[in-house]
Amino acid sequence: MQRYFFDRVGERPHYDYQGRDCPSPAAASQLAELIALDLAMYNDGQWTGWTIAVCDQHGTKVCAIQVPEPDLVDAA
């Protein structure tokens, strides 16, 4: 397992200093998608336009997933 960090990047970045263990970069990307959907659904749009930036333990960027607008999540 490798540790990945899921930073919320926007107006004032929120850095993930603890990280989470994931078995692969693909699994970390999937987790980032879930985090983005969760932020869109449960925070009244305050995270709209933000991005979940995922880096591995060496600081290599794995992916960046944009938080969708709440209306787009409700329609799914």
CB burial class (10 A; 0-12, 13-18, 19+) of residue 19? Answer: middle
- 8 in a structural domain: yes
pLDDT, tens only, 17-36? 999 999 999 999 999 999 99
Distance CA 5, CA 7 (A): 6
Residues 6+ apart with CB under 8 A from 1: 21, 22, 23
pLDDT of the residue at 70: 76
pLDDT of the residue at 42: 76
- 57 in a structural domain: yes
Range of the domain at 65: 2-71
Number of domains observed in the structure of the chain: 1
pLDDT, tens only, 38-72? 998 876 778 888 999 999 999 999 999 999 987 75
